[in-house]
Amino acid sequence: MCARYSLIANEQQLKSLFDIVDAFEFEPRVNIAPKQVMPILLANHHLVPAEWGLTAKWDPKRLLINARSETLATTRTFAPLAKSKRCVIPATGFFEWKTEGSQKLPRLFQRKGAQPFAFAGVYDEDDKGQVHFVILTTGPNQTVAEVHDRMPCMLLPGEVDHWLKDAEVPGPFDEAEMVGFSVTPKVNHWSYQGEDALLQLS
């Protein structure tokens, strides 16, 4: 599961990386949680605001924030979206937690050099026209497997169009191009936005 991520890049940086033709101003965030509104990129290369999480049609109290890539094309909820409502979610990192005793210790995973990338995703609109997105997950590479049995489907900027134009779901990201390290437990609270959340604990 991917339940937190970061985006420390502005509109202009994303425009140049992802060949965006239309965008909006947004605030970069250190610690992004479900139900928050962040930018996603659609197949027409428009960057639009979208809320993280889809309400399950069979249970209005359940929020879907991830979709398993292995079953994306066969589930009633996500199969129609995979055909016509693909998106990518710009990011600069994601958090996972390792349980040690009663403690949950956060780790931040990034591309080397903390360069921006994107998650593969799908989206939908509610009755009010609000766009909602979910992040696709896959099995972990060795870097993430130390902490969790799933990881988000990561895309390099040059791979974005392949996903948006109906390519297969990407597998685990190349571990040689990733780093993961422990960060402050302050990030455990969804509202924490301190810059130390991006710094490796000594």
pLDDT (tens digit, 9 = 90+) per residue, 121-175?
Answer: 999 999 999 999 999 999 999 999 999 999 999 999 999 999 999 888 889 999 9
Averaged pLDDT score across all residues of the chain = 95
- Residue by residue, DSSP assigns 66-90 as EEEGGGTTTSTTTHHHHHH-EEEEE
Q: Is the pLDDT of residue 202 over 80?
A: no
Contacts 24+ apart (CB under 8 A), 186-193: 187/4, 187/30, 187/31, 187/95, 187/106, 188/97, 188/104, 188/106, 190/4, 190/31, 190/33, 191/31, 191/33, 192/30, 192/31, 193/29, 193/30, 193/31
Mean pLDDT score, 166-189: 94
Instruction: Give the pLDDT confidence of 93-125 residue by residue, as tens digits.
Output: 999 999 888 899 999 999 999 999 999 999 999
The enclosing H or E element of 17 equals: helix 11-18
pLDDT digits (tens, 9 = 90+) for 47-64: 999 999 999 888 888 999
**Kindly report the CA angle at 26 between 97 and 65, in degrees rounded to 5?**
40
What local confidence, expressed as pLDDT, does residue 133 receive? 99
Q: Which domains does the chain have, with CATH numbers?
A: 5-198 (3.90.1680.10)
Please tell me the predicted confidence (pLDDT) of residue 100.
86
Q: What is the pLDDT of residue 102?
A: 87
Residue 14 has which token pair? 């994303």
Task: Tell me which DSSP letter residue 189 carries.
Answer: S
pLDDT confidence of residue 167: 82
> Is the alpha carbon torsion for 15, 20, 22, 24 positive or negative?
negative
Question: In the 8-state DSSP scheme, what is residue 49?
Answer: E
Share of the chain above pLDDT 90, in %: 86
